[in-house]
Structure 1
Amino acid sequence: MKIFISSLVRGFEDFRAAAVAAVRSLGHEPVTAETFPAGVSSPRVACLEGVRHADMVVLILGARYGRVQPVSGLSATHEEYREAKDHRPVIAFVQEGVEQERAQEEFVREVKDWSGGLFGGDFRTAEELRDAITRAIHRFELSAAAAPVDAGEMLARALELIPTENHNIIRRGGPLLHLAVVGGPAQTILRPVEIERPDFARGLLREATYGDSALFDPAHGSESNLAGGTLKLSQETGATIVVDERGSVRVSVPIASGTGMVGALIEENVADALGRALTQSAQILAKIDETERLSRIVVAAGISSNGAMGWRTRAEDAASPNSMTMSMFHQGDREPVHFQPPDRARAALSFDRERMAEDLVALLRRQWS
């Protein structure tokens, strides 16, 4: 595999040497600007051509942005990233403990926000960078070798995880937000003996009750049920966590009610529930698949309305708490929403979570407004 090393050259010699050593240690061919022969092409054109012919790009970002190219208005490294990002894997590494130039801050933010990229980690020394690159490429190889990613199959599993609402039953609690995260390529992530261990369920329950994105109310008891390789933790509030042996996760979060007597979904409360569900799902995946064998994810979301009849913002609810205009056109079952195309890089759960939540809220709003 040809791996292009993209970074500033001047002042980054030790880091580039570490990257080259990491690539070679795994039996791959490093491609760097220093090794391009003199020819008719300019260094800029030669580097972009090197990116096009590489199988992967390792992007190393420090404090400085680099000289801006007159044609594009971007630095050479930024150009190489833009050239690569939609056509081949890009693994990014960011130097810690340095003060980034403003343009570099924006570049780093762009890279971390990109849902198709892989974030390899932070580094301070050349040795740390070499180790991080070695681990990241090895993880990528393991996930790529496991099986091809089938986005359609992943989407089907995600949709299966979203419960179908029974309109004949009114639960004690209010509406629930359901979020399913399914990873690929398809493989066993949790061995049967691992998912059966009592301490595994206890660990999930503890994080769901007392963690930063707690879903469970410590004032309520919880139930644990294991059936057919699927573990389910639940409370009478409706809060639920489902995990199966393939690493699929479904999180159900109660949606806070509005202030008035109208049974409407409040947009900001839905957004809050989505944010907590995405955070909890990311934490569970990190726990059960810390080496990131699941390199791609599909996310689907749905709402069990429990009698809710419409959608409004907090401002709309405050202005008219006891009345609203509702359309009856969409009062039947609503299908779970998902992105198009459905799959995203696994790193999106960490670095694109806010935008994912915003887009899911928009998709749900279309159903309910």
Structure 2
Amino acid sequence: MKIFISSARKGLEAERDALDGLIRALGHTPVRFEDFSAQTTPSREACLKALASADVCLFLLGPFYGHVFPETGQSATHDEWVAAQAAGMPRIVYRKQDVMFEPDQHKFVRVVEAYATGVFRDSFHSSTDLMTKVVEKVKELESAASPLAFTKLGQQPTIHWASDSTASQIVSNHDSVLELHVVSLDFLGYSARELDQLGASLVDRIRATRTVGSEVALNPIRSDGYVAVGIPTSRPRSWGTPQRGELVECRLYKTGQLSTQATLPRDGLGAILDPDALPQQVADLLRFSGALNIVQADRIVVAAGVSTEALMSVDTFDPRQSRQSAQPLGFGRSRRPLRTEPDESVTLAALGAGAAEVAPHLAQALILQAGR
């Protein structure tokens, strides 16, 4: 289990250092900014990516709020709180007692403890006190049952695949696109009025997830049967520069299907289906879908696919340098989309706390198809 530790370091130095060793001793992986190596990505992006890969986020509330960044108008811990909340990630909060909080930290504590959107928290007086409580909580998490419950499907639902339509090309024809679809079972669909209302709110819902920067211009789309928002990709400074996968569209169908699309990582030799990175990218799309707060059904069906290009290969993506050689899947075969064939429904937790459990199954199915 990966446990992300979020707090300002000032005033909590001993606690943060003690947690690192404790979590490792318990057989789990602590994730702290102190352990990050030099990276080419912006610090905020690196922190939020590390948080997204974790299973639990542990927040420590000490006397200091932390540096306020002009890009977000809030501290890194506050930024991480918003991201964890949007992703539906389990959050454990401990507040230090017998210390004086600065004004900004008082405001943040009120956000964390808000009745409607916050969580109940515990408190501690010393590092020893905190360690005891964290051990108990970790053991509780270890014994907790999975929030997911799977049920075999009697009949496969109809899924709208973007790769079946050439009506709108949201990315370059040279990009391979990962599709993720969420279909609500026993849902009658939206009326025209309901779809219009959701379409009008879609841009704001996407912004609220903080998945897309405030400087990115979003493009609302209205078509027969669905509403969507296109998200422009950032272009590399030169051809062949390695580029991470990026979210490029969110689409809501009148039937109730919620779909997201993202490019796969690529470099000068083409798109890369990375067996290690793909599960994380799928999990990110699952959490993003849940953070939109559109799907409310008790049971859903999730499907994933990849619309491939001729130069796509199963390989390892390196953001620092392009590959020197690659083995494409083969021209004829690579043009056929890779798709999962859902035979089970799952609880709504798949779009939140259960995303890390569902994503590897979807990714593995796509990787196996690519190897045939």
Name the TM-score, length of structure 1 as normaliser: 0.51
Q: Which residue of 2 aligns with 1:359?
A: 361
Q: How does 1:243-322 map to 2 (within 5 A)?
A: 243-258=252-267, 260-284=268-292, 287-289=293-295, 292=296, 294-314=297-317, 321-322=323-324
Deviation at 1:249, TM superposition (A): 0.4
Deviation at 1:222, TM superposition (A): 1.1
**Which structure has greater helix proportion?**
1
Secondary structure at 2:324 match in 1? coil
Kept after mapping to 1: 8 A contact 2:175/2:263: yes
1:241 is aligned to 2:250? yes
Q: Which residue of 2 aligns with 1:231?
A: 227
Q: Which residue of 2 aligns with 1:157?
A: 158
Kept after mapping to 2: 8 A contact 1:176/1:304: yes
Q: How does 1:320-331 map to 2 (within 5 A)?
A: 321-328=323-330, 330-331=333-334
- What per-residue deviation string (whole Å, max 9, x for no partner) do you get for residues 312-351 of structure 1? 1136x98981212345384351341145x42111223222
Kept after mapping to 2: 8 A contact 1:213/1:276: no
Describe the shift of the 1:335–1:262 C-alpha distance in structure 2 as closer, same or farther (beyond 3 A).
closer
- Counterpart residue identity of residue 212, structure 1: R
Q: How many residues end up aligned between the 2 structures? A: 228
- What per-residue deviation string (whole Å, max 9, x for no partner) do you get for residues 72-128 of structure 1? xxxxxxxxxxxxxxxxxxxxxx986487685774454453534119xxxxxxxxxxx
Q: Which residue of 2 aligns with 1:212?
A: 210
Q: Distance in 1 between matches of 2:334 and 2:175?
A: 17
- Counterpart residue identity of residue 260, structure 2: V
Secondary structure at 2:252 match in 1? strand
- Counterpart residue identity of residue 115, structure 1: L
Q: Which residue of 1 aligns with 2:44?
A: none
Secondary structure at 2:202 match in 1? helix
Q: Distance in 2 between matches of 1:335 and 1:239?
A: 19
Kept after mapping to 2: 8 A contact 1:209/1:218: no
Identity of aligned residues (%): 15
Q: Distance in 1 between matches of 2:223 and 2:335?
A: 32
Q: Which residue of 2 aligns with 1:186?
A: 187
Computing the radius of gyration from Cα coordinates, the structure with the larger value is 1
Secondary structure at 1:113 match in 2? coil
Q: Which residue of 2 aligns with 1:135?
A: none
Describe the shift of the 1:348–1:261 C-alpha distance in structure 2 as closer, same or farther (beyond 3 A).
closer
Q: Distance in 1 between matches of 2:321 and 2:221?
A: 42
Q: Distance in 2 between matches of 1:298 and 1:221?
A: 28
Secondary structure at 1:157 match in 2? coil
Q: Distance in 2 between matches of 1:101 and 1:261?
A: 47
Describe the shift of the 1:210–1:101 C-alpha distance in structure 2 as closer, same or farther (beyond 3 A).
closer
Deviation at 1:223, TM superposition (A): 3.5
Kept after mapping to 2: 8 A contact 1:162/1:301: no
Which range moves more in the overlay, 357-366 or 95-104? 95-104
Describe the shift of the 1:205–1:108 C-alpha distance in structure 2 as closer, same or farther (beyond 3 A).
same
In structure 2, runs of 5+ residues without a counterpart are: 1-118, 124-131, 234-246
Describe the shift of the 1:320–1:334 C-alpha distance in structure 2 as closer, same or farther (beyond 3 A).
same
Kept after mapping to 2: 8 A contact 1:262/1:321: no
Name the TM-score, length of structure 2 as normaliser: 0.51
In structure 1, runs of 5+ residues without a counterpart are: 1-93, 118-148
Secondary structure at 1:163 match in 2? helix
Q: Distance in 2 between matches of 1:325 and 1:365?
A: 15
Q: Distance in 2 between matches of 1:358 and 1:246?
A: 27
Kept after mapping to 1: 8 A contact 2:188/2:255: yes
Q: Which residue of 1 aligns with 2:172?
A: 171
1:334 is aligned to 2:320? no
Q: Distance in 2 between matches of 1:312 and 1:157?
A: 32
